[in-house]
Amino acid sequence: MMQFGNIYQGRRVLVTGHTGFKGSWLAFWLNQLGTQVAGLSLDPESELSHWGLLSLNIDDYRVDIRNAEKVQEIVSKFRPEVVFHLAAQPLVRRSYREPIENWSSNVMGTAHVLEACRHVDSVKAIVAITTDKVYANQEWPWGYRENDRLGGHDPYSASKAACELLIDSYRKAFFCEKNAPLLASARAGNVIGGGDWSEDRLIPDLIRAVGEKQPLVIRSPKATRPWQHVLECLAGYLLLGQHALQGRRECAEAWNFGPTSEGNCTVEEALALLQAHWPMLKWQQTESKQPHESTLLYLDHAKATAALGWKPVWNIEQTIQVTADWYRQFQEQGAVLTGRQLDNYITDARSAGVSWLQQ
């Protein structure tokens, strides 16, 4: 089966944030596709890291995207054809503790990456990753569409909404010429999967609690989130990159990649599904006052389905099962299931008839 029209074979691809959770899965998949990958990122924050377990042989640059000169130096040296920009400060509660770091990383860091790309003529496509939290949350019981109003209460959400404005500005002011790079942005939901050890995230926190033989203290059990496996949104990012490399200017817009409506469930429901596959998981609710976070958040991915042919492959039960399997196998046997789970995902994607797989 041909993935993404084999368009990534032999291409030079830069991934910012490659040592992070999503970035490491993306670097692995690109490596499997035969690309020449370079990564630009900070060191992993946790002692355990998915990136460290993969042992990929790529050009590995450890640079803070707030350092404009270093970012320009690396982009100029590597001369990528495609850039996937994932590097960011990704945590809501940390954004309350360290708002200036949050704003400088997410907004100015993105500006530095786009500015570096503007001055390197090898770049043909840029996919900048933001979040489902860019929307001015109205607690609507229906999905947000790409043309809904941007906004944010917490510093993280607001900074990512600002990133979307920055991206749109660069698209119109600097990348509007015929041969300019095509710049798309991608907004994904609550992404889960094996290998995430970030602080202050539900499943990594739960896995740490299991290791410490303690119940996890959760904040908002009734909060609803659009849960999806990391491979689902990465397929969307890679599909966007494919369309951009093929010169399809209509792809240079914002895109949602979210689960089906059944994938929208509460924190409590997600934990119950996890516990069904790993009975030793335990949790309890905190009674202390918490910073503001949205309680109801859905994404509408109809645009990506209609225009790109993208659609989710795994339902919520499969997503939870493979996530639990990854962590359980790692904890009990030291096994890293990343490659096997990617193969299984591609097999299931073929059965689902996705647009990015061809005979």
349 located within any domain: no
Based on the structure, what is the number of domains in the chain? 1
- pLDDT at residue 136, as a whole number: 92
132 located within any domain: yes
Query: Can you give the CATH number for the domain in which 32 is found?
Result: 3.40.50.720
58 located within any domain: yes
21 located within any domain: yes
- pLDDT at residue 220, as a whole number: 75
305 in Cβ contact with 257 (< 8 Å):
no
| pTM, full prediction | 0.94
Q: How many Å apart are CA 48 and CA 213, to the nearest integer?
A: 18
Q: Which long-range contacts (CB under 8 A, 24 or more apart) does 269-277 make?
A: 270/202, 270/225, 270/227, 270/316, 270/320, 271/202, 271/206, 271/218, 271/221, 273/316, 273/317, 273/320, 274/203, 274/206, 274/320, 274/323, 274/324, 277/320, 277/321, 277/324, 277/325, 277/328
Q: Which residue has the tokens 């899965």?
A: 25
37 located within any domain: yes
131 located within any domain: yes
Q: Which residue has the tokens 């450890």?
A: 62
340 located within any domain: no
253 located within any domain: yes
- pLDDT at residue 349, as a whole number: 97
Taken in order 58, 63, 66, 68, is the CA torsion positive or negative? negative
* Structural domain that includes position 180: 10-190+229-261+295-315
- pLDDT at residue 297, as a whole number: 78
- pLDDT at residue 56, as a whole number: 96
Q: What is the block-wise mean pLDDT of the chain (359 residues), using blocks of 10 residues?
A: 95 98 98 98 92 96 98 98 96 92 97 98 98 89 91 94 98 93 94 91 85 80 86 98 96 94 83 84 68 71 96 94 94 95 98 90
